[in-house]
A and B are shown apart, each in its own frame.
Chain A
Amino acid sequence: MVTNNDISVTLGPVTFKNPVFIASGICGYGEEYSPLVPIEELGAVVTKTITVRSRLGNPPPRIHEVPTGALNSIGLENVGLEAYIRDKLPLLRDKRVGVIVSIAAEFEEEFVEVADKLAPLDGYKGLELNLSCPNVEEEALDHGRNPEFVERITRIVKERVPDRALLVKITPNVTDIGEVAKAAEAGGADGISAINTVVGVDFDLETGKPIFHRGSGGYSGPGILPIALQKVWEISRAVSIPIVGMGGISSVDDARKFFIAGATAIQVGTSLWVDPELTKNIIAALHEHPEYLGTGTAE
């Protein structure tokens, strides 16, 4: 029996009906996954990261399986801001789906442009700044390593979208993730999303070369769970704003561990490809056991 306890969560100015989201890059612009996942039942879908101009992305191969997960090298292929606003955002508007728009940019002016263009629109509840994509040429798209930049950009965007939840997604590929999280908090973020993929590589034994043209890729899936829990735990001791935890979740129990580590909400990624019922099962378990949410920070 499913009990309907209130499991809504609040991130800054916005409330989501439950704390279970799909991670950026997994379900496209949202609609693509609707044949398998009833997306209106989710707390939110985080859409594929968009940039001001469309991006072709990296040449294939783009996905590589390993026994503990997958490496990907998509390279932020996306339709660009204008086409997103025109063609993709309206698709979900009438469906009562919680949408969080993921954005990335190279320069401050581009962040300003994206925020200004999105600010007056409806059809989404939050923004997630992807400051942590490991799969692109441009160093500047990976500025999650620079705390001053993180703080400045967070402030600039938050000023423009004060009525939305602003999440800052940070990279695990830094020595002190707490520093970067603190910078986002100082800039006015409503929450920290962590983690993005872990940099990884695999080699083809026949050619002696990396599988991907770009060499390294982003590692995700069950194998990164302990790394993700560690990072969320560290962040929870560094900041007091909510954390949206992700990385390797493939079961209800995995999700529970993020709440123990200090997360307020979670995102499911790679494992959804394998188990399309995963978000549904986590939501059902939380309805039945809302106490899973309130376990707070483990010392």
Chain B
Amino acid sequence: MTFTNIIQNNARPGHYECTVIENRALSRRYYLLVLSRPREMTNPEPGTFVHLLVPDANRFYLRRPFSVLDCDDETISLLIVEKGEGTRIMRRIEKGRPIDIVGPLGSTFPKVPGKRVLALGGGVGLAPLYYYGVRREAKDCETYRLLYGARSREDLFVDGFDWALDGVSFSTDDGSHGFQGNIVEFAQHEFEQSQVDVIFSCGPNPMLKAAAEFADRVGVPHYVSLENRMACALGACRSCVVLTRNGAIRYRTVCNDGPVFDARELVWKELPQA
């Protein structure tokens, strides 16, 4: 069973100025950035991202890609983890300030009506899978179970989210909340309890690789959302490529062919595991 033909990039990106509506700390390293949604901006599908210009910059910054966490007529929300310089500056940006974005961009998690989906979100990898869950796409699934894993309780933010999905469960590496262990161990545990037709995953590369090995072992189709360094985010500059194998070996772009890929098409050993 494969849904490769329905991994699509239908995004019609634009260049917009938004306003910060809310910028709120969720935990030590995570924050929620809510932007005004430009009127002309097309509806972002789950899996797509926006390319954001670091505000108030006094040096050169490439834009930063962030998955859409949620969106309604008025707002577009991002879940951000503080990583380096850019995400540190963004953390301090105040309500009412302008933010320059390009989006929506990239491919989407496939629509799989009638299927039982197990979705694995590690860290900020939660964003596109949460969005899938709260959108209509998930309601067309037979079930949509979201497992959300973090290092420990402090990195999990349970409050302020609409967890009214089919079922959300948590895991922490240290067992301080929910299942103790990494998220792929958790997936394995869940897999033994209930039927799964499709796996989605998003998170750090080592987690995705482990998830891919697991999906292969149990013979279930698996779709992953990847990260990579980007420049244009339009498939033009070929900066953000990953090696894929679909018949021929070739480089495909995470920004435009992805970020969502069929896991079986990726050459995993070539993906950086840091």
Binding site for B on A (CB under 8 A): 25-28, 32-33, 35-36, 48, 56-57, 59-70, 72, 74, 77, 221-223, 270, 273-274, 276-277
- Please classify the interface of chain A as helix (H, G, I), strand (E, B), loop, or mixed, using the class held by over half of its residues: loop
A273 with B238: CB separation less than 8 A: no
Residues of B239-274 at the interface with A, using a CB-CB cut-off of 8 Å, are 239-243, 250-251, 256, 270, 272
Residues of A within 8 A of B272 (CB): 60-61
CB distance from B248 to the nearest CB of A (A): 10
A63 partner, pick from B13, B15, B235, B240, beta carbons under 8 A: B240
Cα(A59)–Cα(B229), bound, Å:
13
CB distance from A235 to the nearest CB of B (A): 26
Which of under 10, 10 to 19, 20 to 34, or 35 or more describes the interface residues of B?
20 to 34
Residues of B within 8 A of A57 (CB): 238, 241, 251
B228 with A36: CB separation less than 8 A: no
Closest-by-CB residue of B relative to A75 is B238
B235 with A32: CB separation less than 8 A: yes
Cα(A26)–Cα(B233), bound, Å:
11
CB distance from B243 to the nearest CB of A (A): 8
User: Can you show 28 pairs from A to B with CB atoms below 8 A apart?
Assistant: A25-B237, A28-B236, A32-B234, A32-B236, A32-B256, A33-B236, A35-B14, A35-B234, A36-B13, A36-B14, A36-B102, A48-B238, A56-B250, A57-B251, A60-B228, A60-B242, A62-B229, A63-B230, A64-B229, A66-B60, A67-B60, A70-B62, A72-B237, A74-B237, A221-B60, A273-B63, A273-B231, A273-B233
Closest-by-CB residue of B relative to A276 is B15
Number of A-B contacts (CB under 8 A): 97
Cα(A33)–Cα(B62), bound, Å:
16
Binding site for A on B (CB under 8 A): 12-15, 53, 59-63, 102, 228-243, 250-251, 256, 270, 272
Residues of B within 8 A of A221 (CB): 60
Cα(A277)–Cα(B16), bound, Å:
11
Residues of A within 8 A of B63 (CB): 273-274
